[in-house]
Structure 1
Amino acid sequence: MDNKENITNSENVEEKEINSKKEDNKFKKFISEHKKQSIAIGIGTVALIAVAVCLAVFGLGDKSKDSTTTAKVTDITAQPTTVEQTTVEPTTEVNHDNDTISKLTGDWIPKKLGNKRPIAVMINNIGDAIPQSGISKASIIHECPVEGGMTRLMALFEDTKDIKRIGSIRSCRIYYCYISNEYDAIYTHFGQSKYAKDYLNTDAIDNISGLSAVGNTTFYRASDKYSPHDVYTDHDKLEAAIKTLGYERKYDKDYKGKYKFAEVDGDKVEIKGQSAYKVSLGYPINAPWFEYDENTGLYKRFQYGGKHIDENNNEQLAFNNIICQYVDYGIYPDGKSIDMTVTGSGEGYYITNGVCQKITWKKEQMSDVTKYYNPKGREIKLNVGKTYVAYLGKNMNVTVQDKEAFEKANQKKSEKENTAETTK
């Protein structure tokens, strides 16, 4: 099927400003009109001391007159002045002198993190391996097909410090090496396909392998899981491995990042396209989909028939941006290993804020980063936040449901669940 047809419709201090000049004019007019009379002047809520001062200034100091004046003061009530009040919510300016813009999310992060290369970790995604750990803390997640119709995830972390454990971790595929390099990341995996081995042994990629000399100290097997879905790591182990291997921890001086982002404190990117409140991807085994939450502006991820949850914190994965990229892929001579072409050009979709837009992508050579373009040929800007990227074979559909169809489907689902509940 032509991927142009892959997308379907299933349908606020209180500023109380008293103009002193205006009030002075009122007061002078009052005196001019009543200069031959002995009166007390009552203005709003002015204190009695101020009244006495005014009487003394205008020669009203006789005791009998004082008595009369006092009586008149109690009889004269100043007309209240109506002042329009506006309540403004106080704003707190955040100082970002010690921050920088993240190359992964476009958001403010501490400079000490923003200048560090991310760590890319291969995450097991077969049914027996879920729920995974640590992935809700990833800034970007890539999903690609592997053998047998399954998929594998690559999670990119800017900060792993507070993550209890990360995994489970599985083996490398050669195309994931190429994708990791687009982020100048330190690639982490446990094993590799034979077609990736030679590349991993070159200086083309900084990688931490579970089958290398640092493997035994970087990875461990969790007692609550079973092999081969029991390999995990954590912050301290990863940092120790990076130090042992002598990898540079800061971004390459020439690295500019992969994406363009909207202004961090500005408006969101609004794209033109089709309403997209549910997005389903054509991976056959895990059958993932995303549902748009208008309240948060996030796409919540589901797979294997339920919510995609992080075991560490029970959080559901959610993203601001979804990119679907169609690529050519085939099978290596061994008859089972997948070969995926990540250079060249192709089509895809960019999904954000409840809208899906057709895009194109381009990567001329392996040392380049993939760029994405809108229908007018301009490089797209992502909304600030987390991004999910799917690499799809051209035979894999992306199905989009608009708001009306999504709401109707949810209503039917609720009615069905309610009926089932009442029949128990």
Structure 2
Amino acid sequence: MKKRNLKMLSLTLATACALAALAGCSKKQEETTEAPTTTAQAGTMASVTMPAPPETTASELPEGMMYSYLTGLPVTTEVGTRRPLAVMIDNEKKAMPQNGISSADVVYETPIEANEVRLEMIIQDYSELSRFGGMRSARRYHPGIAYEFDAIFFHHGHSDIALPYLEDTEHCDDIDGVTDRGYPATYEVDDHAKGHRTFSNPEKINTRIEKLGIRTEVRNDFDYKFQFAKESAPNQLPNGTAANKVTIGYKQNQPWFEYHSDDQLYYRYAYGEAHIDQENNQQVAVKNILVQYCDFELEWDKDTKNIFTTGEGTGMFITNGKAEPITWSKEEYWDNTHYYDASGQEIQLNPGKTWVCIVLPKMTGEITVE
């Protein structure tokens, strides 16, 4: 397990002014938008064997089962060795309701331009979905997030400075729905508002993945992003502060999470109501919430945000009705992000789904935990 000797901020989560300390440690890092060197092509169909996740043994699970590296929960080996999809999901009010978001293993919510925030869902087993979407475009930092999970990146358009990363075939297996490469995998629906109708389904995306010759199994040298506690010994955050309601101050959708002690999950609300997935009519609920403060700069249009997800910064880890301050670190664009507690130990998530909120320093005081 990795360990960092990072100076932690003194933090009392119960007050907004104490939360202001979180943003102070987040700092801008220099990142280039020049095209990365490419040395490999995406069309390799190598068969790989997925190693067992850390701190598990084969005897703990029945034959044919393994622990998911996305959730820490038992899954079949067929599912657990399959590369996930990272899909850009429309998050505007007119795009509601979304399809498939409640089935995602991990979701990133990130600012993009003006007050807009967009979702990037990481989903490994999407075979039972009737459709997923609506889909939207990517920004520069989204391909790097997909790579942290060895995910195939599926989106509908992109900003200009994202292009060098999308074209880096060593790291990014990219399917863009506005190009010939990805257009056959998308279609328009008639039950959503105009401009928010781009969707896909398992059959279309799998056909396109096969046509493009994209690797479909997790690579055998994959470096796990998350560490998980065992279900039999959950992480109770003994030094944490009560976290029964978590409000994230995104101006567009004003989301919040409410903790249910009966199933120990955080139920999500947005736009003033329960966040419901049209696919199954269920409210989105997750086990873990990570809040990650990141610096940014404005792109040429002075509106689109170029968020710096490399370097070091601060945040919060929220699970099982508790919250604690954390730090995060990511050395290079194509590296994993690691999260550390006050002692410098890498945190252990509890098995289940995770929602990651990328927030900006100016949002300090708009993140409340009570």
TM-score category (smaller protein):
0.7 to 0.9
1:237 Cα deviation after fit: 0.9
What does residue 324 of structure 2 align with?
357
What is aligned with 1:376? 343
Match of 2:369 in 1: 400
Structure (1/2) with the larger helix percentage: 1
Specify the alignment match of 1:230 in structure 2. 197
| RMSD, matched Cα | 1.7
Tell me, in whole angstroms, the C-alpha distance in 2 between the residues paired with 1:358 and 1:376: 11
Relative distance call for 1:400 and 1:248 in structure 2 (3 A) is same
Q: Which runs of 5+ in 1 are unaligned?
A: 11-92, 402-424
Please, which of 289, 297, 307 is the counterpart of residue 340 of structure 1?
Answer: 307
Could you list the per-position Cα deviations for residues 17-66 of structure 1 after superposition, in whole angstroms to 9, with x for gaps in the alignment? xxxxxxxxxxxxxxxxxxxxxxxxxxxxxxxxxxxxxxxxxxxxxxxxxx
Q: 1:200 to 1:270 in 2, by over 3 A?
A: same
Give the TM-score taking structure 2 as reference length.
0.82
How many residues are treated as equivalent by the alignment?
Answer: 316
- The residue correspondences of 1:15-414 to structure 2 (distance < 5 A) are 96-203=62-169, 204-264=171-231, 266-271=232-237, 272-396=239-363, 397-401=366-370
**Whose RCO is larger (CA < 8 A, sep 6+)?**
2
Structure 2 gaps of 5+ residues are 1-8, 17-58
Shift of 1:365: 1.4
Q: Distance in 1 between matches of 2:165 and 2:310?
A: 17
Letter in 1 for 2:79: L
Contact 2:114 2:304 in 1 (8 A): no
Q: Is the 8 A contact 2:66 2:77 kept in 1?
A: yes
Cα distance, 1:148 vs. partner?
1.7
Q: Deviations over 1:230-280 (max 9, x none)?
A: 00001111111111111111112110321000124x221111211000000
Change (3 A) 1:188 1:9: same
Following superposition, the deviation at residue 117 of structure 1 comes to: 1.0
Q: State the alpha-carbon separation in 1 of the partners of residues 139 and 194 from structure 2.
A: 20
Q: TM-score if structure 1 supplies the norm length? A: 0.72
User: For the residues of structure 1 that align with 2:14 and 2:301, how far apart are their CA atoms?
Assistant: 36
Given that 1:6 and 1:398 are in contact with CA atoms closer than 8 Å, whether structure 2 keeps it comes out as no
**2:290/2:356 contact within 8 Å kept:** yes
**Using the alignment, how far apart are the partners of 2:202 and 2:12 within structure 1?**
40
The one-letter code sitting in structure 1 at the alignment partner of 2:148 is E
Letter in 2 for 1:353: N
Contact 2:104/2:121, CA 8 A, preserved across alignment: yes
The residue number in structure 2 matching 1:79 is none
Distance 1:132 1:166 in 2: 7
SS at match of 1:217: helix
